Amino acid sequence: MASPAFKTVLAASCAALALAGCREDQSAAKPAVGYGVPVTEFVDNVPLAPAGEALPVGRPAPVSTQVLGEDGYGWAERAYALDRAFYEVPPDYEFSYGGAEPWAWESRDNWTMYAEPIEAGYRTYYYEPGATYPYFVRDDAYGYGYDQRGGLVALYSLAGALLPVSARDQRADLAGRYWTRAHEMRRTAERARRAPVERPQWKARGPALARSQAPWFQAAERQDDWRKYRDDRKDRDQRRFTAERQRREAMVARMDREPPPRREVAQADVRVRDEQAMRVAEEGRRRDVAKERNRERAEQELERQRGREAQTAQRRQGEAEARERAQAGQDRRGQEAAARQDRQRVERGRGEQGRGDRPQREQAQAQPQRPERPQERPQQRARQDQRAPDAAQAARDAGAKEAGPKGRNGQEKAGGRGAERRGDGPRGEGRKD
């Protein structure tokens, strides 16, 4: 059940899309122009999700080279059927993801659709029951059909035309980014806090979503190949969600008839306060994270400074030890040089003393010996007799060591002969000089 405002928007979009719809097949390589409407036109301070080009770069989606006929509208038809089931019905809940607040719709048999606000309207993601990856994603300019491995198997223009393989190649990078974001969003929604979307919030932001869906709805009714695909299958995908659509239309009718209860308004006020508190807490958390990072960087810098100081101290210690070793070597060489000089002085002194005694010896040898006088002979004999006992005693000692008893006998005989020569014996008594 469409509202009067949406019918006006739908009628206004028909003329803008009519000419593009009949020529889209021939201009596939030319980028499509989106027909989205900024969410901020209806409500201020809406946290927006990043544009496709601003999403993290990842692996481009593998592109299927299969040329699709009218069977290629299977992905678009399933997404369109889910859109119609949830059309102009408030979402079941919202959750926080990546700074934005996507809306979520879930059927009773677990078909799911997420819609996140972007600058040009809304970007929607479609999931089969139990799947963590999307089978279809639609932004403000194109529709992307995926297989179970993330391959881009179909690409649709805003007018609903099935584009050729060359166009898929051009959009493979963006398709890969959407695929990754859809998977992460799905996992976040499963464990995140789910908040209800209150009636004032839906009334404020719902028209932007409806205007984002209008060109897609119009293309599904005007594109011949797409409509033929639906007719050949007797509206199979539409009939799958008939009960879901009827249930939600009845819910919308009750909402239009009943004024918002006071409790709902109070809950909305509480939710606004909660959101403000959450933003304040998030800002505090970010400040804490920044402080922690600054502290870690300061500690790392201090650790690096300590390392540099330790290296400097180690280098200085090594240099001091090297200087000490060099000084010790220099002192040792000085001592060795002084010792050599002392030895040389001693040797020179000995040589000079020897050279000084030599002339005296030569002079003594050169002097003629005077003739022996008769009166000097008794004196010389007396001196010899005085030296004889000492020589005899020395000979006896040497003989005792060398010859033993026999030597001692020889010494006694030598002593007797010495005594006789000195005049101690019988012969010496009668000798006269």
Residue 395 has pLDDT above 90, yes or no: no
User: In this structure, what is the dihedral angle of CA atoms 238, 241, 244, 247, given to the nearest 10 degrees?
Assistant: 30
Within-domain flag for 37:
yes
Strand arrangement, sheet containing 142-146: 93-94, 103-106, 112-118, 121-127, 136-138, 142-146, 152-157
Within-domain flag for 12:
yes
Residue burial 100-111, b: 16+ Cβ < 10 Å; e: rest: bbbbbbbbeeeb
- What φ, ψ does residue 137 adopt, rounded to 5°? -135, 140
Give 17's pLDDT tier (boundaries 50, 70, 90): very low
Within-domain flag for 90:
yes
pLDDT in tens, 297-340: 898 999 899 999 999 999 999 999 999 999 999 999 999 999 99
Q: Which domain covers residue 84, as residue numbers?
A: 4-260
94, 197 in Cβ contact below 8 A? Answer: yes
Within-domain flag for 125:
yes
The pLDDT value recorded for residue 261 is 56
pLDDT in tens, 359-381: 777 776 776 655 555 555 666 66
Within-domain flag for 100:
yes
The pLDDT value recorded for residue 58 is 84
Q: How many domains in the chain?
A: 1
Within-domain flag for 319:
no
Q: Residue 125's closest CA among 143, 99, 141? A: 143
User: For the chain, what's the residue count?
Assistant: 433
The lowest-confidence range among 144-148, 225-229, 236-240, 396-400 is 396-400
Within-domain flag for 402:
no
Q: Which residue has the tokens 């019905």?
A: 89
The pLDDT value recorded for residue 85 is 94
The pLDDT value recorded for residue 23 is 39
Residue burial 180-205, b: 16+ Cβ < 10 Å; e: rest: bbbbebbeebeebeeeebbbbbbeeb
The pLDDT value recorded for residue 271 is 63
Measured CA to CA in angstroms, residue 381 lies from 117, 189, 369 at distances of 150, 144, 19
Taking only Cα atoms into account, the Rg of the chain, rounded to an integer number of angstroms, comes to: 62
Within-domain flag for 272:
no
| Token reading at 208 | 């932007």
Measured CA to CA in angstroms, residue 220 lies from 3, 293, 408 at distances of 19, 52, 154
- Determine how β-strand 103-106 pairs with β-strand 112-118: antiparallel
pLDDT in tens, 343-357: 998 888 888 777 776
